[in-house]
Structure 1
């Protein structure tokens, strides 16, 4: 809105342009001047944060989205934290904007694409207090795998969440985090195995031939039984080249005496299915 005033437009002029469809209102005081354009997600986030006033910061799921931390369910909501009572008016005027009142220190704020955002470690700390175990561990795994959070920073999170609601459960989630997981699906498969008492011996296990040539890398491995568990995400494994490479890799591993078990997201929704399949395979291979 400040830029509009600098151009000589009044609030009445801006309202008239919006009613005529020549401008699009993104958030309070933020507009897209091309009526045919579809505002990018990041532009909408930037507008929402700016509309919340000085000191507003993208937080929680929106901060995770900006940092590229995976594991959360997709949402169109834009989460912003502000100080004091400034939150209340925005809940009514901007439906997509969810305002929180978190106490965020200056050192816990960074910028992503020019948008003030909670740092990765603060974002993870806030999220694991609010989500279930599988989502929390997926978030932590993703942040570690992408090196957005270092192991020593993970160790500092208990101090950040001390005394906050959900801290007891969140501290347990921290002990289960493993940055070797390359996707939320891998995390979910691993946790199903842990819960079913068939914990894998290794993650991202490289199988080599006698000459040291890597035949393939398994997402999860049970070494004594020579079993590999694969988490087959729809997107990365459905492309023709990926299918071709997966089949060749599986054949190499099978020829080397390894059994390949493949699991999808749907498989993780049944608490007993993955442990049952792994346990049956272990029994058949160790006899």
Structure 2
């Protein structure tokens, strides 16, 4: 497994001043040393129980795989992976809490620990995670996720992916798959009408919206400045 320098440039194309980081599954019999001024060997420590055989291929289990991923990817992708693992029940909160010990001393561990703090298993899709992170980055983080709205009789009017409760504002992450069938479109319209009739404002965002850092926070901020309902 080659690290950033080799991944970006390819071994053959590396300049003499660049460094290749090579990760070798351990344990090794002795401490790996720098074998060449441009080659640094890293040892991956994983107990035998961390490995599984999938279709005849030896692979790490979910916990160790997620730990490796969040070391090597950028923040939004890392938090999406963590949220998904929690939401699908592939990892528990206690297992997530064990990841810092697994990645201690490894390259990228500081950023990965920050990603762990943002994980939330209530996110039901990577799109929801991305919308939430855009809101957080824009200083308009939601108060609640998967907020259930009920009428005075206790009947469920709808569930908002994100909510700003004082302002009766909901935000929806509209993925193309779940919301594209005619039945889903009709159901969404009826649900939106129920929520609006009950005094809630509903903002809807797509994946394309998350590609623009300022757009989602701008919309939410404009809606919040209207004041509480």
Which bin holds the TM-score, normalised by the shorter protein?
0.7 to 0.9
Alignment partner of 1:183 is 2:131: no
The residue that corresponds to 2:30 in the other structure is: none
1:140-219 equivalence runs, <5 A: 140-219=82-161
From 155, 169, 177, the equivalent of 1:227 is 169
CA contact (8 A) 2:168 2:228 kept: no
- Could you say what secondary structure the match of 1:254 adopts? helix
Shift of 1:268: 0.5
For 2:194 and 2:187, locate their aligned partners in 1 and report how far apart those are by CA, in whole Å.
11
The equivalent position to 2:179 in structure 1, one of 237, 249, 256, is 237
User: TM-score if structure 1 supplies the norm length?
Assistant: 0.64
- Give the drift of 1:105: 2.3
Task: State which of 44, 64, 67 in structure 2 corresponds to 1:122.
Answer: 64
Paired position in structure 1 for 2:219 = 277
Unaligned runs of 5+ in 2: 2-22, 27-41
In structure 1, distance between residues paired with 2:160 and 2:110? 33
Q: Distance in 1 between matches of 2:56 and 2:227?
A: 55
Bigger Rg, structure 1 or 2:
1
User: Shift of the alpha carbon at 1:102?
Assistant: 4.3
Aligned-residue CA RMSD (Å):
2.0
Q: How many residue pairs align between the two structures?
A: 193
Q: Distance in 1 between matches of 2:178 and 2:134?
A: 21
Matches within 5 A, 1:2-21: none
- CA distance in 1: counterparts of 2:55 and 2:43, whole angstroms: 23
Q: Which runs of 5 or more residues in structure 1 are unaligned? A: 1-58, 60-80, 85-99
**Cα distance, 1:240 vs structure 2:** 1.1
TM-superposed CA distance for 1:82, in Å, is 7.3
Tell me the TM-score normalized by structure 2. Answer: 0.79
Shift of 1:149: 0.4
1:110 aligns to 2:62 (yes or no): no
